[in-house]
Amino acid sequence: MEKLINDFSVGLFFWQTLLFLVLVFFLRKFAWKPILEAVEGREEGIKNALDAADKAKADMEVLNADNERILAEAKAERDSLLKEAREMKENIITEAKEKASLEADKVMASAKEQINNEKQKAVTELKNHVASLSIEIAEKVLKSELKDADKQKELVGAALKEAELN
């Protein structure tokens, strides 16, 4: 360090200072401004990118809220449709049961009516057959009984006694 102080030259110091100042002047004029402009441009680009990211984030939040709202509406509509479908199913089942019940009642009534008609027919045929048999038997009995006068008197007497009892 002493050597530097001993070898100090004012002229050299002057020229070194002058060259340094000229160098600073040229750097400031030609290099410093473009460097600062590039840094400021970069800073502005970063700021714009951050603003765009914030805007995109806000847009995403709005989209997410819209998606959730749409999803909730879709679920509500789905539930409504399912409820309506269940009600329609129950109505169809109820109507089918009622129709089946009415149809069964009609079939039962028709069957009962046919049974009663067949029964009446059978009873009528039976009565006619019994009446015809009774008449034939009575005819045969009367023919055999009426040949004898004593038997005729007995028969009339028995019929009178029977008539008095009734």
pLDDT in tens, 78-100: 999 999 999 999 999 999 999 99
Domain assignment present for residue 23? The answer is yes
DSSP codes, the chain: -HHHHHT--HHHHHHHHHHHHHHHHHIIIIIIHHHHHHHHHHHHHHHHHHHHHHHHHHHHHHHHHHHHHHHHHHHHHHHHHHHHHHHHHHHHHHHHHHHHHHHHHHHHHHHHHHHHHHHHHHHHHHHHHHHHHHHHHHHHHHHHHHTSHHHHHHHHHHHHHHHHH-
What are the φ and ψ backbone dihedral angles of 147, each rounded to 5 degrees? -70, -30
What is the chain's mean pLDDT, rounded? Answer: 86
Question: pTM for this one?
Answer: 0.40
**What does the pLDDT read at residue 165?**
60
Residue 65: pLDDT over 70? yes
Task: Considering only residues 127 and 58, tell me which one the structure prediction assigns the higher pLDDT.
Answer: 58
163 lies in some domain: no
In a domain, 6, yes or no: no
Say how many domains are in the chain.
Answer: 1
Domain annotation covers residue 160: no
**Residue 151 in domain:** no
Asked if 105 and 115 count as a contact pair (C-beta separation under 8 A), the reply is no
- Residue 25 phi, psi dihedral angles, 5° rounding: -60, -45
Q: Which domain covers residue 38, as residue numbers? A: 11-139
Looking at residue 135, its pLDDT comes to: 79
Residue 161 falls inside a structural domain: no
Reported confidence tier of residue 33, pLDDT bands at 50, 70, 90? confident
φ, ψ of residue 86 to 5 degrees: the values are -60, -45
In a domain, 82, yes or no: yes
pLDDT tens figures, 95-138: 999 999 999 999 999 999 999 999 999 988 888 887 777 777 77
**Tokens representing residue 28 in the block:** 């400031």
Q: Is residue 153 part of a domain?
A: no
Amino acid at site 121: K
Is residue 152 within 8 Å of 146, Cβ to Cβ? yes
